[in-house]
């Protein structure tokens, strides 16, 4: 029975040592990490606003708009890094339905506002998001794309339609 206790204690000590070494290895980042590795998940940063429900600029349309913001270093096809520090790509999409009153899509003007909590800088872009009349839009049918220069740091983004709407939450993004 004494040898069984010794074996159990030895096994517990070995597992404790292995766990401690594993934890230490996981907390130390390699000194030679490639800052432009597109497959490194820590470099792929994005945030999405929730759906913001809104009336449309068109007479009988309503629905939801949303935004996705992302920051990451880009690579040229040959692997050469591109400096993308302080820049954020965004996409705005809308699911608007109803009768637009014209052969054109239902539309709503929206402001994507940002505030860099690290530097104090802020800004916004105003764009028009759209969706086809009488139907639900395809996810990419009314998408609008662009880039803003926010500077590096912790940045909050807020999406605000210019028509009556239910307010959305600000979303944070850690910008390179």
Domain range holding 14? 1-31
| 77 and 130 together in one domain | yes
**pLDDT tens digits for 113-172?**
999 999 999 999 999 988 755 544 444 456 899 999 999 999 999 999 999 999 889 999
| 22 and 49 together in one domain | no
In a domain, 36, yes or no: no
| 134 and 52 together in one domain | yes
| Spatial contact of 62 and 76, defined as CB atoms under 8 Å apart | no
Local confidence band at 33 (pLDDT 50, 70, 90 cut-offs):
very low
pLDDT at 117: 95
In a domain, 26, yes or no: yes
| 107 and 145 together in one domain | yes
In a domain, 57, yes or no: yes
| Total number of domains in the chain | 2
Of 13-22, 50-59, 163-172, the one with minimum mean pLDDT is 13-22
| 66 and 147 together in one domain | yes
pLDDT at 95: 85
In a domain, 130, yes or no: yes
User: What are 43's two structure tokens?
Assistant: 């470099």
| 70 and 128 together in one domain | yes
Closest to 156 (Cα-Cα) out of 112, 116, 126, 121: 116
**pLDDT tens digits for 109-123?**
999 999 999 999 999
Instruction: Report how far residue 148's alpha carbon sits from residue 153's, in angstroms, rounded to the nearest whole number.
Output: 14
| 88 and 141 together in one domain | yes
Closest to 66 (Cα-Cα) out of 100, 95, 87: 95
| 48 and 132 together in one domain | yes
| 62 and 131 together in one domain | yes
| 73 and 15 together in one domain | no
In a domain, 161, yes or no: yes
pLDDT at 1: 55
| 49 and 98 together in one domain | yes
Q: Give me the DSSP letters along 30-59.
A: PTT--TT-TT-GGG-EEEEPPPEEEE-SST
In a domain, 102, yes or no: yes
| 15 and 90 together in one domain | no
CATH of the domain at 149: 2.60.40
């Amino acid at each position: 029975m004494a040898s069984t206790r010794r074996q159990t204690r030895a096994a517990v000590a070995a597992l404790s040592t292995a766990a401690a070494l594993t934890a230490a290895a996981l907390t130390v980042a390699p000194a030679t990490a490639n800052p432009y590795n597109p497959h490194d998940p820590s470099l792929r940063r994005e945030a999405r606003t929730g759906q913001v429900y809104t009336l449309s600029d068109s007479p009988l349309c309503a629905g939801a708009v949303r935004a996705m913001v992302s920051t990451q270093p880009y690579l040229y096809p040959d692997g050469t890094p591109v400096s993308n520090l302080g820049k954020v790509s965004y996409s705005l999409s809308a699911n608007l339905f109803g009768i637009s009153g014209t052969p054109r899509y239902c539309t709503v003007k929206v402001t994507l506002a940002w505030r860099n909590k690290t530097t104090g800088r802020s800004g916004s872009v105003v764009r028009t998001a759209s969706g086809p009349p009488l139907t639900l839009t395809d996810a990419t049918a009314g998408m609008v794309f662009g880039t803003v220069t926010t500077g590096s740091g912790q940045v909050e983004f807020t999406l605000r339609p210019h028509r009556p709407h239910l307010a959305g939450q600000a979303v944070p993004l850690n910008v390179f």
